[in-house]
Amino acid sequence: QMKKQCDQKLLIRMKTKCVPCSLNLDTQCPAGYTRITNGTGTPDCRYYLEIKTHTLSFPGCRHRCVKEFEHPECCQGHWGQDCMGK
């Protein structure tokens, strides 16, 4: 019995918004995503504050998130909606 369906697993990565590190402890990833950074996250970004005519830039933190996604695909030699083709 040959397998007809060979789903591909895709890993979708994203980062949360840059915020002050002290406020990043409780930042959640969007629904369906898993947080892969701990604590205050990664200090690799800058956030901006507008004060009247000036924009100030500060170092900030963000979290990295991943989501596993199954992409339906037919195995080699099979095609069509139900992967039946030979």
Is 35 inside a domain boundary? yes
Q: Is the residue at 29 inside a domain?
A: yes
Is residue 52 a part of any domain in this protein? yes
Stronger pLDDT, 6 or 16, i.e. the higher one: 16
3-class secondary structure for 50-72?
EECCEEEEEEEEECEEEEEEEEC
Cα(35)–Cα(13) distance, integer angstroms: 10
| pLDDT (tens digit per residue) in 27-70 | 999 999 999 999 999 999 999 999 999 999 999 999 999 999 88
pLDDT, position 86: 57
pLDDT in tens, 8-25: 999 999 999 999 999 999
Please report whether residue 1 resides in a domain: no
Q: How many domains does the chain have?
A: 1
In terms of DSSP bridges, do strands 42-51 and 34-35 run parallel, antiparallel, or are they unpaired? unpaired
pTM of the model: 0.73
* Phi-psi group of 20: left, alpha or beta (phi > 0 → left; psi -120 to 50 → alpha; rest → beta): beta
pLDDT at 1 over 80: no
